[in-house]
A and B are shown apart, each in its own frame.
Chain A
Amino acid sequence: MERNMRTLLEIVIILVFLSIGLTYMRAVMLKDFYVVEGDTAGAEFLE
């Protein structure tokens, strides 16, 4: 594999893991999301 290709792949993989880490921080540690009372189908019905 070419060197620049390998570097690009490595960057993408690192960014994906970084993104997963940030997602965990947002959802589990900061709990930065809202809850909607009811279920998915009910919400669509209301829309």
Chain B
Amino acid sequence: MISRMEPAFLCPWETPSFLIFSSNAYPLFYYAHFVPILAGACLVALILWRNPRSLAIRMLSVLFAISAMWIFLDMVATATNRPDMVVFIWSVVVLIEPFAYVAAFFLFYAFAHEKLPSFRELSAMSVLLAPLIILAPTAYNIPGVYTEDCNADEGFIASHYSYGVEIALTLWILFIALRTIVHAPTLDEKKKVGIFLIGLLAFLVSFASGNLIGTFTGDWVTAQYGLFGLPVFIGFLGYLIVRFRAFNIKTFAAQALVIALALLVFSLLFLRSIENVRSITIITLGLVCALGWFLVRSVRQEIEQRQLIEKQEKELEVANKQQESLLHFISHEVKGYLSESQAGFSSIVEGDFGAVPVNLKTMAQNALTGVRRGVLTITDILDAVNFRRGTMQYEKQPFDLRKAIADVVEELRSAAVEKGILIDLNVGKGSYRFVGDENKIRRHVLRNLIENAINYTPRGTVKVELSDGAILRFSVKDTGIGIGPEDMRILFTEGGHGKDSIKVNVHSTGYGLYISRQVVEAHGGKIWAESEGEGKGATFIVEFPIG
């Protein structure tokens, strides 16, 4: 039976206390309503506090504020026993609900484009919302109330038009998001927008699912469970916003986890039938808070340390580059002076200035040897800098590796003979045609390894071998001072002197083997050393792939 409202009529339960507490609440009603509001509020406050200037986060806050208001009004509408309040609150709920979708629209724009929608879009939205705003206070929205459960009888606006607006706004967001994804310049950008869209849609579905279930089935108990998704998706959206805005997400995640856990435990206190476990809940809450505090503190400390290390790494990198440039500059300049001196001494030795006294010629000859050695040292340093910068150029052409080795051995034979060392060259039969930068391989690999063997062998033999097969294998075996395990580790590194190498070879720069390795690797080969230990000689082996 339908009748006009009588002022004295009340729904069949007591007047609520504090607007929201009455016996008309369903099981888990307060749990389902307080948790989303409290958890969401904490998350939003945390995100907003850490990044207050972000437009997207401000829009997320607006979205949450509208949702929280909706949830609160839902509690009031359920608790009240006054039909007039039901009509009023229910009408307002219907009115503000689509604004959550408008806020979601704004949020998407702010996240994907870092701006608000255009005036034209806002005008179109206003036109869509106008019937709702105009007809909300009329019988087209909420015409009446059912006496037994105090639920509203929903008119066309509440049961159809508002949902139509929500569906239209959702489709609109979807359309704009897909357009953004299609036009995004990079895959990362597409992923970012796509994941955010999924989070936003999940939020909206979670928000709307309860209403839809309630409206179409009348089962408002099941309807309330959709609300549990709200804080989850608010957290997710907040995470995405800060994640893609280079915010300190790990601290945020730890804080959010602790707050969510604490709130969940705290919310258990709202359950009516847990008198016997209330004390356990309070202890658990205390533990969560205490352990959470330690967790957040330790995560923050770790992050601060990592940030410090990253900062120092960057500073070190800059300092290294500056040092490298300085080294390059100085080496280049010194090489220029040495080259001039070399030309001068060379002219004296070669008689360009006519006959000179024997003493002067001897002095000029010694000086020329020293200067040539200096030029080679400086060239090594310059080459090492170029290798590190990646600016070393290679001129690769076919050449005969056997001839190159034989030439180098002949060049160094006199130095070996002077020291009483026998050089034994052993080249197997086969083709030793190799494509590479002949000059660099001769100087930095062949000469360097054979010269080292002579320098570090006080007496005995230096055995040079070359063999072919699936690979070209070049080895230099000496009976010299050998290499200890400690030296072996740093042998091919930049400036990697052996601990006693300076004593034996005072001209060692520490760059020779580093450069050898760079040249060999640039040709696709590998280089390594073998030694049974100090005083037991060493073998250096180079392998180049054929072809």
A37 and B9 CA atoms in complex are apart in Å by 11
B532 lies within 8 A of chain A by Cβ: no
**A–B complex contacts, Cβ < 8 Å, 22 sampled:** A5-B116, A19-B133, A20-B92, A23-B92, A23-B137, A25-B137, A26-B87, A26-B138, A27-B87, A27-B88, A27-B142, A31-B7, A33-B87, A34-B3, A34-B5, A34-B143, A35-B146, A36-B153, A37-B1, A38-B148, A39-B151, A40-B151
| B137:A22 contact, CB within 8 angstroms | yes
Q: A27-B85, A39-B146 are in contact. List 15 more A-B contacts (CB 8 A).
A: A2-B119, A12-B126, A19-B136, A20-B136, A23-B92, A27-B87, A35-B145, A35-B146, A35-B147, A36-B147, A37-B2, A38-B146, A38-B147, A39-B147, A44-B218
A28 and chain B: residue at smallest CB distance: B84
A47 and B122 CA atoms in complex are apart in Å by 40
Against A, the Cβ 8 Å flags (1 = close, 0 = not) of B113-136 are 000100100110010010001101
Q: Which residues of B contact A (CB under 8 A)?
A: 1-7, 9, 83-85, 87-88, 91-92, 95-96, 99, 116, 119, 122-123, 126, 129, 133-134, 136-139, 141-149, 151, 153, 218
Nearest Cβ in chain A — how far from B103, in angstroms? 12
| B146:A43 contact, CB within 8 angstroms | yes
CB neighbours of A26 from chain B (8 A): 87-88, 137-138
Residue among B6, B85, B88, B99 with the most chain A CB within 10 A? B88
A43 and B138 CA atoms in complex are apart in Å by 22
CB neighbours of A31 from chain B (8 A): 5, 7, 84
A43 and B4 CA atoms in complex are apart in Å by 17
| A32:B139 contact, CB within 8 angstroms | yes
A26 and B141 CA atoms in complex are apart in Å by 12
Nearest Cβ in chain A — how far from B55, in angstroms? 10
Nearest Cβ in chain A — how far from B134, in angstroms? 7
The answer to whether residues A27 and B91 also contact, given A38-B146, A38-B148 and a CB cut-off of 8 A, is yes
Nearest Cβ in chain B — how far from A15, in angstroms? 5
| A40:B84 contact, CB within 8 angstroms | no
CB neighbours of B147 from chain A (8 A): 35-39
The answer to whether residues A35 and B84 also contact, given A19-B95, A23-B95 and a CB cut-off of 8 A, is no
Count A interface residues, CB 8 Å.
33
Against B, the Cβ 8 Å flags (1 = close, 0 = not) of A1-25 are 1101100110110011001101111
Main secondary structure of the interface of A (DSSP, over half): helix
| B145:A36 contact, CB within 8 angstroms | yes
A22 and B88 CA atoms in complex are apart in Å by 9
CB neighbours of B149 from chain A (8 A): 39-41
Nearest Cβ in chain A — how far from B131, in angstroms? 11
A6 and B270 CA atoms in complex are apart in Å by 42
| B137:A19 contact, CB within 8 angstroms | yes
| A8:B119 contact, CB within 8 angstroms | yes
Q: Which of B5, B91, B134 contacts A35 (CB 8 A)?
A: B5
CB neighbours of B6 from chain A (8 A): 35
**5 closest A-B pairs (Cβ-Cβ)?**
A22-B137, A27-B88, A39-B148, A27-B87, A34-B144
Nearest Cβ in chain B — how far from A2, in angstroms? 6
Q: Which of A5, A33, A44 contacts B122 (CB 8 A)?
A: A5
| B137:A40 contact, CB within 8 angstroms | no
A11 and B141 CA atoms in complex are apart in Å by 22
A28 and B92 CA atoms in complex are apart in Å by 13
Nearest Cβ in chain B — how far from A10, in angstroms? 12
A31 and chain B: residue at smallest CB distance: B5
A27 and B83 CA atoms in complex are apart in Å by 9
A2 and chain B: residue at smallest CB distance: B119
A16 and B119 CA atoms in complex are apart in Å by 19
A24 and B92 CA atoms in complex are apart in Å by 9
A32 and chain B: residue at smallest CB distance: B139
Nearest Cβ in chain B — how far from A7, in angstroms? 10
| A33:B137 contact, CB within 8 angstroms | no
The answer to whether residues A33 and B83 also contact, given A2-B119, A23-B91, A38-B147 and a CB cut-off of 8 A, is yes
A19 and B99 CA atoms in complex are apart in Å by 14
CB neighbours of B144 from chain A (8 A): 33-36
The answer to whether residues A33 and B148 also contact, given A23-B95, A24-B88, A27-B87 and a CB cut-off of 8 A, is no
Nearest Cβ in chain B — how far from A16, in angstroms? 6
A3 and chain B: residue at smallest CB distance: B119
| B133:A15 contact, CB within 8 angstroms | yes
B126 and chain A: residue at smallest CB distance: A12
A9 and B102 CA atoms in complex are apart in Å by 12
A20 and chain B: residue at smallest CB distance: B92
| A33:B139 contact, CB within 8 angstroms | yes
CB neighbours of A34 from chain B (8 A): 2-5, 143-145, 153
Nearest Cβ in chain A — how far from B135, in angstroms? 9
Residue among B83, B139, B142, B148 with the most chain A CB within 10 A? B148
CB neighbours of B133 from chain A (8 A): 12, 15-16, 19
A45 and chain B: residue at smallest CB distance: B218
B123 and chain A: residue at smallest CB distance: A8
| A36:B2 contact, CB within 8 angstroms | yes
Nearest Cβ in chain A — how far from B212, in angstroms? 15
The answer to whether residues A23 and B84 also contact, given A8-B122, A9-B122 and a CB cut-off of 8 A, is no
